[in-house]
Structure 1
C-alpha cells in the first residue's frame, strides 16, 4: 500500500527520497511523487509511471527538506493530479497514508471558506485544513497547526508535512497507519517503513497512536496532541536484505516461488519438537485454551482456513476462521479461553490489525501473530509471536509468505496437540521428519515447471477457470484461483468438488478449464466421481495428482503427477504448481506479474 518517506538534512535529500521510494515499491502503487523546500519555494515532481521516472525528474532539483510518497488509489483515479504530495496555496506540502472518513463534510466546509480543490482525494482536505489554521496564527507554528487539525480527522492517517516558510522543519503525525522516525547524523527522517531509510539512519522509534513528531537536522521532538512531550523507545534500524537481484529469473514472483525451499527451511529453523517456546509461550500460558479464533485477509485467510483442518484434526480443538474485515463489524460471542491468532505477511494489514484490537477489546487476552515482519505493529501488539522468516517478498501476489505461514500454522497445530497430551512422541517424531524433508520435497515439485508452462499456453487463451479441491485441499484450490485472477486477470473461482452439482456444474463447457487438486487421501474416490461429472459435460480437466492416485491422462483429462504424497503437509506441496500455473499464464498473457493492476502488497487501509 502507500508509502511515505520524509527527510530533513544539511544535504540535498532528493536521492534519499527517491531511494526510499524504491525500497517501498514492493508494496504496490499507481503513482508516486516528492516535494522539496528549494530555496524559498515548494517544488514537486509527480508521475503515474515508476519511481525511475521520478528519479529522472529529480536530477536537476535540490532541497534540504522533502517528503515523498507512493500512492495506491482510493479516492480519485490514478493520475498525476491525484498523486501526492498535495499542496495548499504553494505554502503547505503534505503526503498521507490512510483514509479520512469524514473528508466530504470537511471538503464542503473548506469550499465554503474559499478553498479550491484540484484533486478528488481525501488527502487534499488535510493540506487545506493545515493551511487554514497555519495562516491564521498570530505566530505561525507548523507543529501547532498540525496538532490543531488532527482531532478533526476521522479515520486512519499517517502524514508528513512541510511549509515553504518553515525551513529546516518536517512534521509528522499518525493515527491508525504506521509511521516511524529515524535518526541520522545531522539529518532525521520519517517513513512508513524504516527499511526506506536504513542506509542513512542508525536508530529509529515507532510513533504511537496520536503522536506528532517535529524533526529538524539536530533533534526530534515527539508530543501528543496537547503538545506534551512523549518518550519513545529508540531501537537500532533493522538491517534487512532487500533481495533485489533477479538473477536468472524473469520476475520477482518467479524468484520468490523458487525461494520457497530456503524460506521453509529458515522458518523451521532448528525446531525439532512441538514446543510452546516456538511461539514465545510457556506451559501455563495455554493450559486453559479450549478453542482457536484465526483472523486474516486474502491469501492469509486461505492459510488460516487450511490451519482449521489441521488444528481440529491433530489437536482436537474447535477452530473458527474469520475474514478480518467482517469480524469486527458483527456481533460475536467472545470466549475468554480462545487463542486469537492473526495472520499477515506484513503485520500492518489494516483490517487484521483492527480485528485484533476488536478482539482484545472484547476481552481476548491470549493473542498470537503469525507474521513475516519482526518490527510490525501486529507483532508488537500480540502477546505471542511466530515469525515466518520468508525474507522480503516483493511480488504483490504472495507465494513464499503463504507457504511459510502454513508451516507456522502446522507447528501451531502440533504444539496445541502436544499441550493437550494428544500427540504421541512417535507422531511428533514422524511430523518433524516430514517437516525437515519439506524443502527437498518442494524442490521436486518445482522441477515440474516445464510441464506447467505447457499448460499455461492453453490457459492464456481462456477468460474463465474453475478450481476444485476437497477437504484439506479446498483452501488450496481457493488460493490457486486467487493467484490466477490476481496476476493473469482471468476470472477464476474455486469450489469444494462436492458442490459441483449445487451450481458450478452449470458453468462447465469445453471453454472452461477445470483445475483439480487430487492428493491420495481419504476423499480421493469421491473426487474421482466429481471429475467424471465434469468430463461428462465436455469439460477439460487439468489435474495435479499424487503419483499413486491411479488417475491417468486421457481424452479431456490432462495430468501432471506430483512427486510424492505428503500426508498432512500435502497442501504446502500442492499449492506450488498452482502458483507456477498462475505465473506462467500471466507471462503468456503479457501482464505486469509483479505489480498487477489495482492491487497493492500491503493493504494498510480498509
Structure 2
C-alpha cells in the first residue's frame, strides 16, 4: 500500500521524486505529493487523484531544491483529497513527513495534541506524526524521531525532513518495507527498489526497528530503540531497468502475461538437476524432516491463496501428506492446530503482505517451521521464514497478478516433486515424466499466447454484462477462482466462481437467458461430469465458453464457444488454463476503457491488515 520516495544530494529533487513516484504508483494512486527543502525553507505540493494531477500542479509552480520526500497514497484513514494527501506538515510548516502503514494509537495522540492547541487539517493518522515531532523537538532531529517511535504504535515506514536540520533525511521502518539507495554524492529512500533502480543498484534493506540518518555523503543505520549501530549488508540489485518499463506493450499487465514463458523457465532454472532430480540451492529441508511432516498448511491471500489451492492438490497427490489451505487474514484468529510436526507454507508475491507475515509469525510461535514462496528474496517474509523458495518472476508492476501466480504454481510443483524424492512416494519413471511435463510448459504457454485473438472476441462481447460465472471441478475450480478474481479486479464486472457440481444446490438460480459462463474442462476423469453441469446452465439460457485441451472436439455439442489449450498432465493444466482467463480479463477491461494497471480501490502490496 502507498509508496514512499526520498532524495538528498546535489541534483534537482523534483524530477527525481516524480519519476520515483511514477514507479510506485501501482502501490497507491488516490493522491500524491512531494515536499522539498529549498534554501532551508520547506515547500509542499499535493494533489488528489493520479500522479498526473500533481505533475500538472508542479508544471505551473515547480519546486527547486536538492532534498525532498514524496508519497503516492492508497487511502486508509480519510478518503482521497488534497488535505489527506502526504506529505503532512506540522502547524509551523517546518516538519514534513511521509508514512506508509497505520498508527494504531493515533486518536489518543491526536486528543493529547489538540489539548495543547494543535489544529488538524486532515483525517489521517499520519498528520499526528508531524505535529508530535514538532512537540517533541529538542534541537536534535534524530533524538526527536527516536522519542517519536517510543510514542507511536502500529506498522509504519516513515521519511522525515525539517527546516531545522536541512542537511539530513531521517527514515524509520517498523513492519512496513523501506530501502535505502546508496549513490555517489546522493542517497535515496523508497518503499520499493523500482523507484531507485535507474539511479543506483546498491541498496540497504532496513529491518524492523531500524532508523537511518541519511545525508548526501553518508548513511548511518541504528536501532531506533537503543541508538546502537545496526550493521546492514549492502546489496546489489540485478534487475534490468527495462523490466519496470512497458516496452512495446500498451499495459504492464499485458507485458507480464506475455512474460510468463520466461518466468516459468527462470523459476525452474537451476532446480532441475541430473537425472531430472529437483534441487533447491540453500534449501536445508532434510529428508528426515520431510519424512516427519504430519500436516502442511498453505497460508496466503488473494491470488497467492488460489496458487495454494493448486499447491495443496499437487502435494497431496504426490506425497500423501494432508494439506490445508487457509486465508491468511483468518488463519491466526482461529486458533489453528499447529505443532512442531507441521510445516506452514506462506505465499506472497511481494513478501510484505501484512496478514501473511502475521500468520508466519504465529506459526513459528506455535513451534512450526515456515517455508516462504515469494517473488522478493529480500522481503520481510523471506527474511523471517525458516526456508525460502524465490519465484524469480522479476518485478510485477500491474496490480492484477499474472506472472507471479504461474511462477508460484511452478514453485509448488517443484516442491511437491522434491518432497516425493525425500519420501520415496514416486518411482524414478513417474518423476521423470512429471519433470518432462514441467519442461514443456513454457513452450505450451507460448502457444496459448499465440492464439490470444481466440478469446478477445469473447471478452469484448461480455463488456456490457452485469454478471458472469466461472465453473469447474477439481483443479479447474481452483483456476476458476483465479479467473473470476482477475475479471473482478480490472473490469469491475460482478463475477463468481463455483465448483460445477454445486450449481444445483442454489447457485443455478442466478443463471438466466444470456448469462455468460466460462467452463473449465481440463480434467479427463471429470469430463463427463463437468459436461453435465454445462448442460444444466445451457438449459437455463447461459452462453458458455469452454476451456479445454486440444482434441476435445465433442465439447462443441455442449458449449457455444471453445478455447483450446495444449494437452498436458492434469496436474499442470492450471498453468495453461489460466492464461486465456487472464487475457479475457485484460481484453474486457480494455474494451471498457478502464485503467488496467491501476484498478480502482486496489493496491499492489497490501501492508496493512
- TM-score with structure 1 length normalisation? 0.95
State the distance in 2 between where 1:101 and 1:602 align.
20
State the Cα distance separating 1:532 from its structure 2 match: 1.3
* Residues 43-83 of structure 1: per-residue CA shift (max 9 Å, x gap): 11222344355445446322222111111111111222111
CA shift in 2, pair 1:240/1:202, >3 Å: closer
Tell me, yes or no, if the aligned pair for 1:203 and 1:234 is still in contact at 8 Å. no
State the distance in 1 between where 2:559 and 2:428 align.
46
In structure 2, the partner of 1:128 is 131
Given the alignment of the two structures, is residue 416 of structure 1 paired with residue 415 of structure 2, yes or no? no
Give SS of 1:553's match: helix
State the Cα distance separating 1:352 from its structure 2 match: 0.9
- Aligned 1:202-241 pairs, distance under 5 A: 203-241=202-240
State the distance in 2 between where 1:105 and 1:28 align.
27
State the distance in 2 between where 1:587 and 1:520 align.
31
State the distance in 1 between where 2:73 and 2:494 align.
26
State the Cα distance separating 1:550 from its structure 2 match: 4.6
In structure 2, the partner of 1:381 is 384
In structure 1, the partner of 2:308 is 304
Tell me, yes or no, if the aligned pair for 2:95 and 2:163 is still in contact at 8 Å. yes
Give SS of 1:454's match: helix
State the Cα distance separating 1:401 from its structure 2 match: 0.6
In structure 2, the partner of 1:47 is 47
* Residues 412-449 of structure 1: per-residue CA shift (max 9 Å, x gap): 11111221100111011111111111111111212331
In structure 1, the partner of 2:246 is 246
Tell me, yes or no, if the aligned pair for 1:206 and 1:232 is still in contact at 8 Å. no
State the distance in 2 between where 1:244 and 1:79 align.
28
Given the alignment of the two structures, is residue 65 of structure 1 paired with residue 67 of structure 2, yes or no? yes
In structure 1, the partner of 2:343 is 339
State the Cα distance separating 1:491 from its structure 2 match: 0.5
Give SS of 2:253's match: helix
State the distance in 2 between where 1:301 and 1:50 align.
30
Given the alignment of the two structures, is residue 314 of structure 1 paired with residue 318 of structure 2, yes or no? yes
In structure 1, list runs of 5 or more residues that go unmatched: none
424-433 or 190-199, larger mean C-alpha shift? 190-199
Tell me, yes or no, if the aligned pair for 2:27 and 2:74 is still in contact at 8 Å. no
- Aligned 1:235-314 pairs, distance under 5 A: 235-242=234-241, 243-272=243-272, 273-278=276-281, 280-281=283-284, 282-314=286-318
544-553 or 419-428, larger mean C-alpha shift? 544-553
Aligned-residue Cα RMSD (Å) equals: 1.9
State the Cα distance separating 1:293 from its structure 2 match: 1.2
483-492 or 466-475, larger mean C-alpha shift? 466-475
- TM-score with structure 2 length normalisation? 0.94
Tell me, yes or no, if the aligned pair for 1:278 and 1:386 is still in contact at 8 Å. no
Give SS of 2:280's match: helix
CA shift in 2, pair 1:549/1:245, >3 Å: same
Tell me, yes or no, if the aligned pair for 1:274 and 1:411 is still in contact at 8 Å. no
* Residues 231-266 of structure 1: per-residue CA shift (max 9 Å, x gap): 222223313124244344321111111111111111
Tell me, yes or no, if the aligned pair for 1:204 and 1:237 is still in contact at 8 Å. yes
State the distance in 2 between where 1:555 and 1:543 align.
9
In structure 2, the partner of 1:143 is 142
Tell me, yes or no, if the aligned pair for 1:36 and 1:42 is still in contact at 8 Å. yes
590-599 or 216-225, larger mean C-alpha shift? 216-225
Give SS of 1:599's match: coil
In structure 2, the partner of 1:327 is 331
Match of 2:76 among 74, 77, 91: 74
CA shift in 2, pair 1:203/1:247, >3 Å: closer
State the distance in 2 between where 1:484 and 1:202 align.
36
State the distance in 1 between where 2:482 and 2:555 align.
25
267-276 or 453-462, larger mean C-alpha shift? 267-276
State the distance in 2 between where 1:412 and 1:295 align.
15
State the distance in 2 between where 1:81 and 1:244 align.
31
Tell me, yes or no, if the aligned pair for 2:515 and 2:541 is still in contact at 8 Å. no
